[in-house]
A = this chain, B = another copy of it.
């Protein structure tokens, strides 16, 4: 059976840098899988990707050793079970604000008696291995996204839910919730304080702390604070910025 390489990364106390996928294309996913990231996150919430698109992307990424995580659209059992059945190495669940929400989230990802995950890992039995069920608990990662003011207030209770892999900061939602301007560069003092609270709570509970950023620069800063699952790039944005930079170069020349 396949191992989840992220567990090794964290055993080595290293940082797993991820790329974020919002383009619904198995080809762009395969390109990203060859770029050198420690894992990719398929975003079913704000990415323009649905369940069928996810399946093709999970397959495309699985042509490489890079593990795929899936950010589900909402804390709903079927939304959580589907990617795990389809071969995802773990899930990120948005908008976890209370301990009860986190318990429901984790329960949906764990087989009885630990949880209520329904049996039927159709692709995982093939792509991960025939002993998947016995090892699903350690294999399938569960990250609760802390990205509301209520979630921040309840972070201690959330972190204490058994079976949780980690806490994952959603800084844009958190900014909005805290009444801060939407900040691209993660420099706001209040926001950083909130990040550190989440980080420290994760440490105290032996959880992995993760965070979404949009650049290597921000990502490295967050990694140095202690985050161990750090997003540093988004496919749509890479395309957007790369395309704009190239045409700008050409235009500037024209104008000289």
Q: When the two chains form their complex, are residues B112 and A56 in contact, meaning their CB atoms are under 8 A apart?
A: no
A23 at interface by CB-CB < 8 Å: yes
Cross-chain contact of A116 among B47, B119, B148, B253 (Cβ < 8 A):
B148
Please, how many angstroms separate the alpha-carbon atoms of A251 and B232 in the complex? 11
- Give the number of times this chain occurs in the complex, counting copies: 6
Inter-chain contact A176/B82, CB cutoff 8 Å: no
> By the criterion CB–CB under 8 Å, are B63 and A127 in contact?
yes
Bound-state CA distance A59–B120 (Å) is 23
Distance (whole angstroms) from the CB of A220 to the closest CB of chain B: 4
A residues with a Cβ closer than 8 A to B are: 14-15, 17, 19, 22-28, 30-32, 34-37, 43, 45-48, 50-53, 55-56, 59-60, 62-63, 73-74, 76-79, 81-82, 85-86, 94-95, 111-113, 116, 118-123, 126-127, 133, 147-149, 170, 172-173, 175-177, 179, 182, 215-217, 219-220, 223, 230, 232-233, 235-236, 238-244, 246-251, 253-254
